[in-house]
Amino acid sequence: MTRVRTLGFLNGVLDRIGLGAAGPNDPSFWLPRGASTSAEGVDRVFALIYGISLFFFLLIVAILVVFVIRYRRRVGREAGDTPSHNTPLELTWTIIPLALVIVIFWQGFKGFLDLVTPPANAYEILVNGQKWKWTFTYPNGYVDDRLHVPVDTPIRVVLTSEDVIHSFYVPAFRVKKDAVPGRYTKAWFQATTPGEYDLFCAEYCGTSHSDMHTTVVVHPPGEFEKWLDGAANLLATLSPAEAGAKLYSSRGCAQCHSVDGRPGTGPTFKGLFGHDVVLEAGKRAIADENYLRESIVDPGAKVVAGFQPVMPTYQGRLKDREITAIVEYLKTLEK
């Protein structure tokens, strides 16, 4: 368990005045308590820079106040000749800051190298950002909308984006990396404490940027493999409609299509199956199995009137059996 010793004092003070965080996701003046192996190093550099800044802020303000009072203009005491040069003083204010920035650079550079160099045996998870949802693909092909990881295991995430730049950010792990369309970026972390942690998008990516958050679930030893096995066999263990309901929430449908009648970026799924839908230019279609399938693999083909053709295709991203399960789920929302 990583204790963030360097910020311990400040956290203690903040706890006492009610600004501290009680748990990993509680609001706090500071970042949440670290829960990864990188957290301590990041916090150490932060505390160093913060401490230096605070020290010089107080020193400069104190000297400023003393000088303002002591050397203020008074009657009978005009400013005489002032020194234009003082070699020892100038050397002091050059050498001390130089030494400080070298220390800051060295600490920061070491930390940066640690953050960009995943251990060779890291477990790889593919991360995809799209407006406005994260999806995580595990080595066995299973896709989930929450990031599940085993504790005490180095995890490498390979990030990309469907559309615009997003940013993968887990404050408790002190890890942040942009997800960029058309290329892959990488980050890694090793969680030290089982639990659930916030995962945010930290790059403004449009209307629902602030909704683009999910959870990292850190499993205790041995639990991750069990979870992954169970989750990956969704279609084998659940009825098609139940599996479809899971896919609806885990694969991004829920982001735009409600199931309670509320309009979203796309039409609601409530009462959709088997009914007429009005398309652009007054055309009509019946929302049967084939219409729903076509709308999933070729969303631009029959856009419902009043909505923008913004849905990405799920061709190749959902297996046929998964599409069938989603259609079965939509049938249960008929009323």
Binding positions for ligand CUA, rule: CB under 6 A = 129, 132, 166, 201, 203-205, 209, 212
Tokens (6 digits) for 71? 């050397």
Backbone angle region of 47, left / alpha / beta, with phi > 0 → left and psi within -120 to 50 → alpha: alpha
Q: Which is nearer to ligand CUA, 51 or 181 (CB)?
A: 181
Kindly state the smallest distance separating residue 139's Cβ from ligand CUA, in Å.
25
As given in the structure block, the two tokens for residue 172 are: 């408790």
Instruction: Answer positive or negative: Cα dihedral of 172, 177, 180, 183.
Output: negative
| Residue nearer to ligand CUA on the CB measure, 40 or 203 | 203
Shortest reach from residue 162's CB to ligand CUA, in Å:
10
Helix axes 320-331, 289-297, angle to 10 degrees: 130
In terms of C-beta density within 10 A (0-12 exposed, 13-18 middle, 19 or more buried), how is residue 167 classed?
A: buried
**In angstroms, what CA-CA distances link 244 with 112, 230, 232, 254, 321?**
42, 16, 13, 12, 10
Q: Which is nearer to ligand CUA, 107 or 265 (CB)?
A: 265
Q: Which is nearer to ligand CUA, 177 or 209 (CB)?
A: 209
Q: How many beta carbons lie within 10 A of that of residue 50, not counting itself?
A: 15
Question: 292 — phi, psi (to 5°)?
Answer: -65, -40
User: In the complex, what is the shortest distance from the CB of residue 14 to ligand CUA, in angstroms, rounded to a whole number?
Assistant: 28
Over the Cα atoms of the chain, what is R_g? 28
Question: Minimal distance in Å, beta carbon 132 to ligand CUA?
Answer: 6
Q: How far is the CB of 125 from ligand CUA (least distance, A)?
A: 18
Nearer to ligand CUA, 121 or 207 (CB): 207
Bond from prior residue into 132 cis (ω within 30 degrees of 0): yes
User: Side-chain half-sphere of 26: how many Cα atoms within 13 Å?
Assistant: 9
The dihedral built from the CA positions of residue 38, 40, 41 and 44, taken in this order, carries a sign that is positive
Provide the minimum distance between the beta carbon of 182 and ligand CUA in the complex, in angstroms, as a whole number. Answer: 16
Instruction: Give me the least distance between CB of 39 and ligand CUA, in Å please.
Output: 23
- For ligand CUA, the closer of residues 211 and 280 by Cβ is 211
Nearer to ligand CUA, 117 or 207 (CB): 207
